[in-house]
Amino acid sequence: MLPEGCDIMNAMSKKTVTKAVFPAAGLGTRFLPATKASPKEMLPIVDKPQIEYAVEEAVRCGIRDYIIITGKNKRAIEDHFDFVHELEDNLKSKGKQSLLEQVNRFSHHSFAYIRQGRPLGLGHAILCAKPCVNDETFAVLLSDDVIDPAYNLLREMIEHYERLQSPILALMEVSPEDTDKYGIVKAEPAGDGLYRIVDLVEKPKAGTAPSNLAIIGRYILTSDIFEHLEGLTPSSGGEIQLTDGIRSLLSTRQVYGCIVRGTRYDAGDKLGFLKATVELALKDSALKKPFRKYLIELTERIR
């Protein structure tokens, strides 16, 4: 039997996650011309930019440091999470205190912005975060994967990490004709809704996918991922892929996958973006009643 206090020592030596990286340097070509001069991450879903949903997820998990990987035309993201003095005077004078709190609520969090000079891929974007992450475990959130705020996927992933001290990827079953749009894993059930990753491949060609379990844009990564990303050469799409870095990491440690059990919207795609907008509007306390009424009337009209 372990001596008394040993569990506490063990718990104390276990790490948790206090940093999150948000890759946001992509060009957003699927939403042109809307994204010609504005970041795709700032496209609003109901009343919040897409990236704010991801930042809120991290806030709910007690993450303290937010590292956003930006690029050309992305300054609006920095302004969005900053304190806005002009609005403060204006909203205060109009007695709109709650709106003021809403717009400035991220200003006391620590945001760091790192510029990814060239769009060399997701793996390269993560590597850009190395000077801010150092040797800590960190979460990665891709903002075009919007997770229903009622479902705390990231919290679940962090809890798995705290127990296993291993990297965790979010996984979702997709239809076989969609496997070429995702990183796809080969995995074995490991109990408790978890899978042990055996292999993974970025956007496999039709008919070659090792399964239909796709990686969704939430990751808990340990800092040893950086050495594996450093040695990579471009692959799928001519880019340095995070999936390849994790594949290389597999030779040194276990990596697990956690099945997404709530709703996830692919807001990087026009149809997915519309679905997110409609469904999240139906959950908005002020909008849900009139919007539902409108949708019912509309359905009648287009039947």
Q: How far apart are CA 130 and CA 3, in angstroms?
A: 39
| Strand bridging mode 213-221 / 183-191 | antiparallel
Q: Which residue's CB is nearer to ligand G1P, number 155 or number 181?
A: 181
Judged by CB under 6 A, which stretch of 68-76, 99-107, 238-246, 249-257 contacts ligand G1P? Answer: 238-246
Q: How far is the CB of 268 from ligand G1P (least distance, A)?
A: 6
Q: How far apart are CA 69 and CA 163, in angstroms?
A: 29
Site size toward ligand G1P, by CB under 6 A = 14
Does 41 interact with ligand G1P (rule: CB under 6 A)?
Answer: no
Residue nearest to ligand G1P (CB): 183
Q: Which residue's CB is nearer to ligand G1P, number 49 or number 268?
A: 268
Nearest partner of 243 among 186, 164, 159, judged by Cα: 186
Q: How far is the CB of 236 from ligand G1P (least distance, A)?
A: 8
Helices 288-302/270-281 angle, 10° precision? 130
Q: Which of residues 107-136 bind ligand G1P (CB under 6 A)?
A: 122
Q: Which residue's CB is nearer to ligand G1P, number 19 or number 264?
A: 264
Does 142 interact with ligand G1P (rule: CB under 6 A)?
Answer: yes
Residues in contact with 217: Cβ distance below 8 Å, sequence separation at least 6, in sequence order: 140, 141, 142, 143, 144, 145, 170
The alpha carbon dihedral of 139, 226, 202, 35 has a sign of positive
Does 147 interact with ligand G1P (rule: CB under 6 A)?
Answer: no
Q: How far is the CB of 83 from ligand G1P (least distance, A)?
A: 31
- The answer to whether 223 and 135 are in contact (CB under 8 A) is yes
**Residue 98 is inside which H or E element, if any?**
helix 97-103
By CB under 6 A, name the one of 116, 137, 211, 243 that touches ligand G1P: 243
Does 22 interact with ligand G1P (rule: CB under 6 A)?
Answer: no
Q: How far is the CB of 145 from ligand G1P (least distance, A)?
A: 5
Q: Which residue's CB is nearer to ligand G1P, number 221 or number 242?
A: 242
Helices 153-164/50-60 angle, 10° precision? 40
- The answer to whether 137 and 161 are in contact (CB under 8 A) is yes
Q: What share of the chain is helix, strand, coil (3-state, %, to 5)?
A: 40, 20, 40
Per-position x/- string for 153-192, each x denoting binding to ligand G1P as judged by CB under 6 A, each - no binding: -----------------------------xx---------
Nearest partner of 111 among 64, 42, 70, judged by Cα: 64
Does 216 interact with ligand G1P (rule: CB under 6 A)?
Answer: yes
As given in the structure block, the two tokens for residue 123 are 């793996």
By CB under 6 A, name the one of 128, 213, 214, 246 that touches ligand G1P: 214
By CB under 6 A, name the one of 28, 217, 245, 257 that touches ligand G1P: 217
Q: Which residue's CB is nearer to ligand G1P, number 91 or number 122?
A: 122
* Footprint of ligand G1P (CB under 6 A): 122, 142, 145, 182-183, 202, 214-217, 241-243, 268
